[in-house]
Amino acid sequence: MSHSHIFYCITNQLIEKDSSMEYNFDEIRCFKNEEVHAALERLSNEKQFMKVMSTIYPLLPKEVIKQRLMTFQSNFSFQKEIVYPFLQYLEANKTTGIKLNGVEKIQKDGAYLYISNHRDIILDSAFLCGKFIENDMDTVEIAIGDNLLIFPWIEDLVRVNKSFIVKRGLSARSVLESSQRLSAYIAHTISDDKKQSIWIAQREGRAKDSNDKTQESLLKMFNMSGKESFTENLIKLNICPLSISYEYDPCDFLKAKEFQLRRDNPEFKKQPQDDLVNMETGVMGYKGSVVYEITGSVNEELRIIGNEFSHKNEQIAQAALLIDKRIHSNYSIFANNRIAYDLLHGDERFKHEYSLMEKLDFDHYLSKQIAKIDIENKDESFLRKKLLEMYANPLINKLESLK
């Protein structure tokens, strides 16, 4: 589970700290294998969790589910035997197929820091782990913001599922200290100490308009635990950008709704219940085709940036642009992206790359999604424009990246 990558806005004035300092990661790390059994025992006694399990596996009596949970002694076995079959169900029933491309660009037993665009709170990292299992690869550790730990038992669940916790909503000083620890944990996890890959989103929260941009604060956080230059510190993390493409985003209407709520009330803030609705809608909604594209390590490009740019701020900006270009240029583009582009711009640039029926189907889809939005002073023209932007922006960014 993920979700949702997931990090802090770091101040430019970073406190230098000895990177050899020992950190206690117990508060944020995923559970070790020897802790899995106890965590699953706690979960099996949580009514809400067992209700979720009964929904996922309706044919199994609760006692059978509990007994099954008690057999797992590792994170990976829990993922492979409990999470993965549910992901197979979602692929068969809520998508037209999930592809993982680019495996040949990495070493299967290597440790990478996968940085990706962020569409779905839970499934971005979950589907990735499922495809890694199918390719006889270890699953990744997943960065998840503590704002998603809405119920106490969810923390047990995500930590069993190889997630580590990113603290949010802290004071300025606490943010800095938390970021130092998070940076050290990521470096420790990627390094030979643990040699475990990590998935993290390129920005805090989802890009609700699908205009995916890497936050420079994320890269600053990565750098905090290193002792060398900015680019050398990033090279040690073995960064591998990952591009995720969904043909349809089940949460698109919820994102459009939030755009209008924020437009009409600048003080609008999401409630925990909103995240729950987004998670359920994202998991159970129809996604069409889903494509993951591994783009390979950016270490060579980072070395070039280190040689060509002497100022640290320039290096940070160039590294962010590098990751963006890798993600944007590797999007899979679907007919609805081209249709949305043409409708948004009022032209017919891509009209020969989709049929009239595809255009009519997508127009009907937009109307159906807008009809789901229950909001005061509903502005259908604004909502439609926002939906078009969501589907057009991946194509816009891909075109720009290929110049």
How high is the pLDDT of residue 79? 98
pLDDT at 327 over 60: yes
Q: Residue range 280-307: average pLDDT? A: 98
CA–CA distance, 302 with 238 (Å, rounded to integer): 10
- 165-215: per-residue pLDDT in tens? 999 888 888 899 999 999 999 999 999 889 999 999 999 989 999 999 999
Work out the average pLDDT over 283-310. Answer: 98
For the stretch 32-70, pLDDT in tens is 999 999 999 999 999 999 999 999 999 999 999 999 999
Average pLDDT over residues 102-120: 97
SS3 of residue 113 by DSSP: strand
Mean pLDDT of 350-358: 98
How much is the pLDDT for 181?
Answer: 96
pLDDT at 7 over 50: no
pLDDT tens for residues 364-388? Answer: 999 999 999 999 999 999 999 999 9
Percent of the chain's residues with pLDDT above 70: 95
Judge whether residue 8 has pLDDT over 60: no
pTM for this model (two decimals)? 0.93
- Please state at what angle helix 47-56 crosses helix 152-160, rounded to 10 degrees: 50
Q: Which residue has the tokens 């439609």?
A: 384
Stretch 72-80: mean pLDDT, rounded?
97
Angle 252-264/356-371 helices, nearest 10 degrees? 50
CA distance 289 to 99: 8
What pLDDT is stored for residue 23 in this prediction?
A: 87
Contact 159, 181 (CB under 8 A): no
Token pair in block for residue 132: 């890694």
CA dist list (Å): 213 to 124, 316, 318, 326, 393:
16, 13, 12, 11, 11
The answer to whether the Cα torsion of 55, 57, 59, 60 is positive or negative is: negative
Quote the tokens at residue 176: 């800095």
Per-residue pLDDT, 29: 97
Is the domain spanning 1-31+81-250+286-332 CATH 3.30.1120? The answer is no
- Centroid of chain to Cα 228: 28
Is residue 11 scored above 70 in pLDDT? no
User: Where do you find CATH 3.40.1130 in the chain?
Assistant: 1-31+81-250+286-332
Cα 254 to Cα 102, 108, 251: the distances in Å are 32, 37, 5
Mean pLDDT of the chain: 93
pLDDT at 21: 57
Residue 170, both tokens: 């802290």
Burial class of residue 224 (count of CB atoms within 10 Å of its CB; 0-12, 13-18, 19+) = buried
pLDDT above 70 for 357: yes
328 in helix, strand or coil? Answer: helix
14 pLDDT more than 90: no
User: What pLDDT, on a 0 to 100 scale, did the predictor assign at position 172?
Assistant: 83
The predicted structure's pLDDT at residue 192: 80
